[in-house]
Amino acid sequence: MVRVAVVGGGLFRPDRVRYEVAEEGVAEAYRMLLEDTPELDPRDIEFVQCSYFSDHLNQQLCMSWIIQDYIGQHRKGGYRVEAGGSTPLDAIINAYFLIRSGEFDLVLVAGWEWMSEVDTATTNEFIASASDTDWDFTVGGYYNGYYAALELRHMQLYGETVEDLGMLAVRNRNNAVHNPYSQWRAEHGTSYVTLDDYFNDRIVAWPYRRWNCALISEGAAVLLLASERVARKYSDSPMWIRGIGLGTDSMRPGDRLANWAYKGVFPDCEAIYPSFIEKPLTPYPEMANFGFAREAARQAYVKAGISNPVRELDIAELFAPYDGVEICLYEDLMWCPRGEGKRMVREGIVMRGGELPCQLSGGLTAFAHPVGATSLLQTLFLYWELTEQIPKKFGDPKLQVSGAEKALITGHGGTGCQGGVIIFSR
């Protein structure tokens, strides 16, 4: 089967409010791609894979039709995928499938989200309608609360502390100040923050403070994906997709206590369970871990030939709308055994300069989280990393991991209801 690469991309700088509308934002991101890729004739693009999450937020169905014609890419094929927070990752993976099947050689992935046309509480409500509205939503639930409850379970079982969450919040901000496209830098400038600052930040859903939570953003990004037949026409240094994996879990997190689809599939994870708490019928992932990620990582590592992820990967961008998610993902991505995620933080492995730095971009809590564009922004960041373009693109070399060869990205939607993993390499 044909190999697939990312050969370029562009972004429209995300911020809390952008006054340009989505099609204008996508057009700006597309213009950045065209400026960086002079060899690209827009007519070469064969298919447009669109990515946006919410129909509610902008009072507009079928927005991808507006986007595709606005940038003059209509006539050829195109459609949207949608799966909450997983949307942009699924869009990349779908574009990969389209090319890998041999059907297309050049696909544009376009993603965006405009999230501030309603007030903050309503934005949260609209997003929360991606949870089960008959059950989880009705008791005052929204994602801050769901994820806080998930993290609390993990924290109780495996002993990370609020300070561990704080170290991740501080790391994300102190990375984001070096990213001139980050929302944190737009709102707070370029000074570093400390753990004391974190503890002064307000709790919104214990154990989470505001700084632990994803941003509300408006922004866009595009990626150009190409087959190996044409990749080198557009880029001297394509970023190859070495492996992908997909996974799902139950819609309602409370159902994961009797999670028959997972029973017996990951017996080593089921066995690591503290004795002081009663085990649910199915102890993995239950409400403490992300089974979709374990399933997806298993597939992706096999395809990419990765046996020791921490040693073999050089950089990762995780989908962590809340900082505790990251601690769980270290375990579910098999970087460490279940329950030892906190060690990755405390030993500095995932920090800037560590063995496997994560969220150098600032991630969802300090770079941005315009849902339909988020994984595209993170992938573009990884592309700039693996092609050593960070100093040029950011005007600051601080975030460049010198000589980075292999990268991982993961994305997911809901409370880990659906997601995937992609492994990239130079």
User: Under the rule (CB under 8 A), what is the footprint of other proteins?
Assistant: 11-13, 15, 17, 19-20, 25, 28-29, 31-32, 59, 121-122, 124-125, 128, 134-136, 138-142, 144-146, 148-150, 152-153, 155-156, 159, 161-162, 180-182, 185-186, 199, 202-208, 252-258, 260-261, 276-278, 280-281, 287, 395
Whole-number Å distance between alpha carbons of 292 and 312: 22
Q: CA angle, 233 as apex, 228 and 238 as ends, to 5°?
A: 55
Q: Which residue, 205 or 364, is less far from other proteins as judged by CB? A: 205
Tell me how crowded residue 282 is: count the other CB atoms within 10 A of its CB.
19
CB–CB of 205/421 below 8 Å? Answer: no
By C-alpha distance, which of 102, 2, 113 is closest to 46?
102
User: Residue 220: what are its φ and ψ, rounded to 5°?
Assistant: -150, 160
Residue 280 or 354: the one with the smaller Cβ distance to other proteins is 280
Say whether 341 sits in a helix, a strand or coil: helix
Output 163 or 405, the one with its CB closest to other proteins: 163
Which helix (DSSP H) or strand (DSSP E) does residue 111 occupy?
strand 106-114
CB of 344 to other proteins, least distance (A): 19
42: phi > 0 → left, psi -120 to 50 → alpha, else beta; which?
A: alpha
Q: Based on CB atoms, which residue is closest to other proteins, 84 or 207?
A: 207
Indicate the residue among 101 and 138 with the shorter CB distance to other proteins. Answer: 138
The smaller minimum CB distance to other proteins, of residues 208 and 330, is found at 208
Nearest distance from residue 412's CB to other proteins, in Å?
19
CB contact at 8 A, 90 and 81: yes
- Could you tell me the smallest distance in angstroms from the CB atom of residue 324 to other proteins? 11
- For other proteins, give the closer residue by CB, 210 or 232: 210
Q: CA nearest 111: which of 57, 50, 54?
A: 50
Q: Are 189 and 177 in contact (CB under 8 A)?
A: yes
Smallest gap, in angstroms, from Cβ of residue 232 to other proteins?
A: 28
Contact (Cβ atoms closer than 8 angstroms) between residue 335 and residue 328: no
The least CB distance from residue 163 to other proteins, in Å, is 9
Q: Maximum CA pair distance of the chain?
A: 63
Least distance (Å) from other proteins to the CB of residue 405? 28
Is the Cβ–Cβ distance between 417 and 131 less than 8 Å?
Answer: no
Nearest CA among 271, 283, 286 for reference residue 337: 271
Q: How far is the CB of 355 from other proteins (least distance, A)?
A: 28
Query: Minimum distance between the CB of residue 127 and other proteins, rounded to whole angstroms?
Result: 10
365: its two tokens: 């809590």
C-beta closer to other proteins: residue 222 or 244: 222
